[in-house]
Amino acid sequence: MKHLFFKTGKAAILDGAMGTELQREGLPEGACQEMWILENQSILKKIQRQYISAGAQALLVPSFGANKIKLSEFGLSQKTSEINSKLAAITKKTAGGKVPVAGDIGPTGQFIKPFGDLDFETAVEIFKEQGKAGLTKIKYLVGGAVVDRDFADSVGADGCADNAVEAVRVLDSLLKKDLKKG
């Protein structure tokens, strides 16, 4: 199923405010959203089905905080790949081919040098790792801007937007090579 709006640059109606919806459904304050979702998959599926019914033209994998740095706050950095893969699988199954699925790369929560301690190259690697986590053939939202056929979510003021964009471009290039081999 081709969804050309990812390539046209035209506005598309996406799901949104997932964190708010999850809180409404019982996500505790301060909890790791991604792990809570994996423990409460029926809630995510219900919310995503409601978004589709309301006219969403794509679903975002709820992977906004599923990067190594953010997950380390919960002692889960070693599960980055596993968490992203599971979240993508749930979302793809819920979408059922009715709408495309987009990965959601959010901020690390750290500032890039010289404003913080995070190296640009390290940030790129963090975003690449999140992207490689079994999310092949999924588009990405990075900073709300279209990046070729990829895009990313509010990476914002931490200075990571450029890193996420670069990581998505590198990942896209690697995936294209892998797909040609396979």
Find out whether 125 and 163 touch, Cβ atoms under 8 Å.
no
Q: Measured between alpha carbons, how far is 16 from 47 in angstroms, rounded to an integer?
A: 10
User: Could you read off the pLDDT tens digit of each residue along the chain, which spans 182 residues?
Assistant: 344 344 455 566 777 788 899 999 999 999 999 999 999 999 999 999 999 999 888 888 898 888 999 999 999 999 998 998 899 889 989 999 898 887 777 778 887 777 788 887 787 788 777 766 645 444 444 433 333 333 344 344 344 445 555 655 665 565 455 445 44
Among 32, 25, 114, 17, residue whose Cα is nearest residue 67 = 32
Domains and CATH numbers, the chain: 12-181 (3.20.20.330)
Give residue-wise pLDDT tens across range 13-57: 777 788 899 999 999 999 999 999 999 999 999 999 999 999 888
pLDDT score for 173: 62
